[in-house]
């Protein structure tokens, strides 16, 4: 009998488990006619703030908006430099550009997260913030980054879009910096049924300001003391996210078990997967390995019905849209070298042990024969 394909994502299977609850949510919201800014958004904000152990969460329309609105509220703007790694999704740097600030790219460690020593080298008198990205659900070295930020009097921002539920020494991703910005894009561990995102902060006043900014700057129906945009999470997404928050830890545990099995099965002579640091709780939004002959391996896996992904094949500083920033090949060498070696293997919660073993065996077989 032919083996079933191993998909990279499987959102349909999640729906089977939650169908009744989702239908009840749709019925409630359509029945009430309240689609925007009401009880479900407030409930999700409270639920997420509790989950992250922060004072406030502000729900918006995307992770990108969370970064743009959060950095705007912190007063980051034209002429300010923001230090960030260029191996993230385009949105991290895109948000810096959106607010008129200047991205300054810092290289990364073998685990793909920003290198605190590279950050130190990149600090100038114009540095306004450091934006760490917790790539793949693995957290950057937050204690050192916090120290550097404090020492140099600059802000610390966490792009935690891929790290809902991750923690370091018991403290949640998104709760270290002045703001933590999350995406609830459908493929994220806490994913909505469309675009969504939120900002976590302990600054209650700033959270209130962002709540105005996400709604045209209006403080009541007709008065806007400041300009804003429209980025209100809608009720449907908020209710679905509150529901999914209740099952998130189980989902993460299954991903962690899959990652542990990969670690046991993948041949360490051919496959590099950065080990977890003590005190890190990694949520495995992605399971990224670094290998030789990545593209050929990817094709071989595809030939065996295993879907994979690359996060991300082109570093941001080498994207056509970044040309005017003045960075080029060779400027961020570790990121550039990793871009040719990284491969995200399927790790989602609907995979069986057999699936993981099959993927690992297929990877090992290919790499031991090149």
Exactly one of 40, 138, 172, 185 binds ligand PLP (CB under 6 A); which one?
A: 185
CB of 245 to ligand PLP, least distance (A): 17
CB of 188 to ligand PLP, least distance (A): 7
Backbone angles phi, psi at 367, to 5 degrees: -70, -25
Q: Is residue 161 part of the contact set for ligand PLP (CB under 6 A)?
A: yes
- Does residue 15 contact residue 354 with C-beta atoms inside 8 Å? no
Distance CA 361, CA 319 (A): 34
> Considering beta carbons, is residue 224 or 314 the nearer one to ligand PLP?
314
Q: Is residue 64 part of the contact set for ligand PLP (CB under 6 A)?
A: yes
Exactly one of 56, 93, 175, 183 binds ligand PLP (CB under 6 A); which one?
A: 183
Q: Is residue 166 part of the contact set for ligand PLP (CB under 6 A)?
A: no
User: Considering Cα of 340, then 134, then 88, then 312, what sign does the dihedral take?
Assistant: positive
Q: Is residue 195 part of the contact set for ligand PLP (CB under 6 A)?
A: yes
Choose one: 21-29, 61-69, 78-86, 256-264; the region binding ligand PLP (CB under 6 A).
Answer: 61-69
Distance CA 165, CA 306 (A): 27
The footprint of ligand PLP on residues 333-362 (CB under 6 A) is: none
CB of 226 to ligand PLP, least distance (A): 23
Q: Is residue 93 part of the contact set for ligand PLP (CB under 6 A)?
A: no
Choose one: 19-27, 83-91, 117-125, 144-152; the region binding ligand PLP (CB under 6 A).
Answer: 83-91
Q: Is residue 286 part of the contact set for ligand PLP (CB under 6 A)?
A: no
Distance CA 28, CA 364 (A): 50
Q: Is residue 162 part of the contact set for ligand PLP (CB under 6 A)?
A: yes
Exactly one of 89, 281, 287, 327 binds ligand PLP (CB under 6 A); which one?
A: 89
Q: Position of tokens 């020494």?
A: 169
> Considering beta carbons, is residue 8 or 305 the nearer one to ligand PLP?
8
Q: Is residue 91 part of the contact set for ligand PLP (CB under 6 A)?
A: yes
> Considering beta carbons, is residue 86 or 197 the nearer one to ligand PLP?
197
> Considering beta carbons, is residue 9 or 257 the nearer one to ligand PLP?
9
Q: Is residue 168 part of the contact set for ligand PLP (CB under 6 A)?
A: no
Nearest residue to ligand PLP, scored by beta-carbon proximity: 63
Q: Is residue 165 part of the contact set for ligand PLP (CB under 6 A)?
A: no
Choose one: 88-96, 214-222, 240-248, 358-366; the region binding ligand PLP (CB under 6 A).
Answer: 88-96
> Considering beta carbons, is residue 62 or 362 the nearer one to ligand PLP?
62
Among candidate residues 98, 36, 37, 38, the one with its CA nearest the CA of residue 67: 98
CB of 268 to ligand PLP, least distance (A): 27
Distance of CA 263 to the CA centre of its chain: 22
Q: Is residue 158 part of the contact set for ligand PLP (CB under 6 A)?
A: no
Q: Is residue 45 part of the contact set for ligand PLP (CB under 6 A)?
A: no
Exactly one of 86, 137, 174, 197 binds ligand PLP (CB under 6 A); which one?
A: 197
b/e 20-55 (16+ beta carbons within 10 angstroms → b): eebeebeeebeeeeeeebeebbeebbebbbebbebe
Q: Which residues bind to ligand PLP, rule: CB under 6 A?
A: 62-64, 88-89, 91-92, 133, 159, 161-162, 183, 185, 195, 197
């Amino acid at each position: 009998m032919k083996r079933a394909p191993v998909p990279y994502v499987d959102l349909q299977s999640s729906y089977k488990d939650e169908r009744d609850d989702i239908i009840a949510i749709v019925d409630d919201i359509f029945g009430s006619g309240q689609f925007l800014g009401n009880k479900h958004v407030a409930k999700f904000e409270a639920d997420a703030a509790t989950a992250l152990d922060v004072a406030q969460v502000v729900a918006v329309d995307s992770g990108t908006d969370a970064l743009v609105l959060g950095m705007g509220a912190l007063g980051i703007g034209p002429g300010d430099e923001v230090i960030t790694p260029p191996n993230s999704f385009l949105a991290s740097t895109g948000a810096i550009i959106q607010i008129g600030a200047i991205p300054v790219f810092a290289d990364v460690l073998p685990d793909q997260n920003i290198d605190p020593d590279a950050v130190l080298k990149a600090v100038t008198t114009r540095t306004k913030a450091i934006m760490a990205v917790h790539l793949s659900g693995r957290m950057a070295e937050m204690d050192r980054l916090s120290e550097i930020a404090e020492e140099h009097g600059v802000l610390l921002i966490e792009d935690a879009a891929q790290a809902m539920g991750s923690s370091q020494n018991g403290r949640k991703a998104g709760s270290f910096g002045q703001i933590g910005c999350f995406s609830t894009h459908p493929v994220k561990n806490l994913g909505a049924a469309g675009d969504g995102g939120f900002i976590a902060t302990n600054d209650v006043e700033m959270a209130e300001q962002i709540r105005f900014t996400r709604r045209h700057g209006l403080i009541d129906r007709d008065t806007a003391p400041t300009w804003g945009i429209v980025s209100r999470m809608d009720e449907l997404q908020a209710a679905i996210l509150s529901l999914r928050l209740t099952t998130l830890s189980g989902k993460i545990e299954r991903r962690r078990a899959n990652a542990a099995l990969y670690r046991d099965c993948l041949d360490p002579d051919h496959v590099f997967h950065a080990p977890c640091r003590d005190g890190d709780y990694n949520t495995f939004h992605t399971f990224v390995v670094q290998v030789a002959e990545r593209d050929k391996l990817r094709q071989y896996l595809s030939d065996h019905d295993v879907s994979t992904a690359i996060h991300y094949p082109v570093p941001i500083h080498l994207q056509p849209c970044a040309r005017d920033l003045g960075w080029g090949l060779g400027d961020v060498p570790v990121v550039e070298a990793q871009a040719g070696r990284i491969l995200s293997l399927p790790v989602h919660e609907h995979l069986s042990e057999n699936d993981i073993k099959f993927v690992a065996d297929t990877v090992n077989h290919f790499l031991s024969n090149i």
